[in-house]
Amino acid sequence: MESVEHRIVELNGIKMHVAEKGEGPVVLMLHGFPELWYSWRHQILDLSSKGYRAVAPDLRGYGDTEAPESVTSYTCFHLVGDIIALIDSLGVDKVYLVGHDWGAILGWYVCLFRPERVKAYICLSVPFRPFLGRDPKEPGKMEAELAEVGAAYFLRNVITTRKLGPPIFPKGEYGTGFNPDTPDILPSWLSEQDLDYYVTKFNKTGFTGALNYYRNLQLNWELTSTWSNVAEVNVPVKFITGDFDLVYTSPGMKEYIHDGGFKKDVPGLVDVVVQKGIAHFNNQEAAQDVLASEQRFIFVTVLWSMWQSRNNKLWRNQTETTFAVYDRACTVLTEWQSAQSEQTKSINRQLQPAELKWTKPSLGRYKCNIDASFSSDLDKVGIGTCIRDDQGRFVLAKTEWFSPTCDVEMGEAQGLLHAFR
């Protein structure tokens, strides 16, 4: 990971370690417990290669970010303050936000309290349940139990677990912890080198800062009680989880997610994806699937925000809600993917000339053709747009190049954005 830039940013009273790579729209990724910025290693490299500025901090109390001693320095307001200050330091007004586990909970708080700083939210594993409270664990007790088994065992035990929910720390001696079947050989998606990175960092810092998040759940519930009956998240949201996830399989969670409760609390919810055979750490276990979902969702928000602002108001003098636009965008995207699938199935079928028809646009409408060409030699993608009127007469054409080379789906999305502009 030598190509990733690391820096320390002073913000909100602490020094925060930030890993980042790339230029373009900011995708800010928040890790969970017991993780670090390193959990987003796959996403950082991939997103940065496709025109995004991928940013992943060590959260307060983790890794190379400072860990305040006071337990009450880890409330939801401290954590949200860190993220808003980080966004300010990046020099942008809004970000695409991605969160997993505790990072997902923090993401919900950011969307709830500072929605104007979030373009769209991609949430992994933990749905919108920010007002749950529980008794805090006595400071030092859990740390002593973990010290008996060591960071290496604990991290291997937790990160590889496929135990179904609920995610509860065991009482008394840690014993076999979450996972009674801790593997001797790591799964393919987690190398010994990956695990060693986590172990080295947690051996240095300990787990107190990370555990203080849990110790503030009751206090968070008290501090946010004013919002408990009126809280709604109205930014566009995509939720991704695995069917082996310990949160998803906790009592009542599937019903909440699929039977209307989740959508009621999150009117901006666009899509729910349940990954087959995937457990809690889906940002690592199913990194490519998560990446594909992130990229598609980001493109949908960009393209259809452009469509909303430049077309509906201009041509129809109508202003739609953001969520109606996103919902329609995702429907179109799904239909496009289905059409692509059908096209692939029939790729070998030879069309007869009689089957090929072109119909002129109806009276007063224009036809816009968009195409992309890919040059691996030049590491560029060429975008071409041609517009004709209802008589088939030429109106306008334009070409444009951008770098670096990307996949076809991204090239077509860029072409669509180019045409809208």
What residues have CB less than 8 Å from 303, skipping those under 6 apart?
A: 329, 413, 416, 417, 420
Separation of alpha carbons 34 and 28, rounded Å: 19
At residue 347, does pLDDT exceed 70?
no
> DSSP letter at 246?
T
Q: Which of 101, 91, 99, 94 is CA-nearest to residue 121? A: 99
Q: What is the pLDDT of residue 280?
A: 92
Based on its alpha-carbon atoms, the radius of gyration of the chain, rounded to whole angstroms, reads: 24
Compute the CA torsion angle 34, 40, 41, 46 (nearest 10 deg).
170
Tokens found for residue 248: 């998803």
- Mean pLDDT in residue range 140-163: 86
Catalytic residue check, 280: yes
Residue type at 171 in one-letter notation? K
Look at the chain and count its residues: 421
Catalytic residue among 214, 243, 289, 389: 214
Average pLDDT, the chain: 80
Q: Which of 77, 78, 19, 28 is CA-nearest to residue 52? A: 28
Separation of alpha carbons 389 and 96, rounded Å: 37
Residues linked to residue 20 through DSSP beta bridges, in sequence order:
5, 55
At residue 306, does pLDDT exceed 70?
no
Predicted confidence band at 182 (pLDDT cuts at 50, 70, 90)? Answer: confident
DSSP codes, 304-364: HHHHIIIIIIIII-----HHHHHHHHHHHHHHHHHHHHHHHHTTTPPPPGGG----PPPTT
- Mean pLDDT in residue range 153-175: 74
Question: pTM, whole model, 2 decimals?
Answer: 0.72
Catalytic residue among 52, 280, 326, 327: 280
| Type and span of the H or E element at 223 | helix 217-223
Q: Which of 323, 301, 334 is CA-nearest to residue 27? A: 301
Q: Report the relative pairing of strands 95-100 and 118-124 from DSSP bridges.
A: parallel
Q: Check residues 66 and 341 and name the one with the higher pLDDT.
A: 66
Q: Where are the domains of the chain?
A: 5-294, 357-421
Catalytic residue check, 198: no
Q: Check residues 190 and 384 and name the one with the higher pLDDT.
A: 190
| DSSP helix/strand/coil, 243 | coil
Catalytic residue among 46, 58, 64, 101: 101
At residue 351, does pLDDT exceed 50?
no
At residue 128, does pLDDT exceed 50?
yes
The angle, 0 to 180 degrees and rounded to 10, between the axes of the packed helices 76-89 and 102-113 is 80
Q: Check residues 339 and 48 and name the one with the higher pLDDT.
A: 48
Q: What is the pLDDT of residue 370?
A: 74
Condensed to tens digits (0 to 9), the pLDDT of residues 19-78 reads 999 998 899 999 999 999 999 999 999 889 888 899 999 999 999 999 999 999 999 999
Catalytic residue check, 214: yes
Question: Which range is least confidently modeled, 114-118, 149-153, 197-201, 222-226?
Answer: 222-226
- Mean pLDDT in residue range 329-336: 54
Q: What is the pLDDT of residue 406?
A: 65
Separation of alpha carbons 208 and 214, rounded Å: 10
CATH of domain 5-294: 3.40.50.1820
Q: What is the number of other CB atoms lying within 10 angstroms of the CB of residue 47?
A: 26
At residue 284, does pLDDT exceed 60?
yes
For residue 289, give Cα distances in angstroms to 118, 200, 226.
Answer: 23, 28, 38
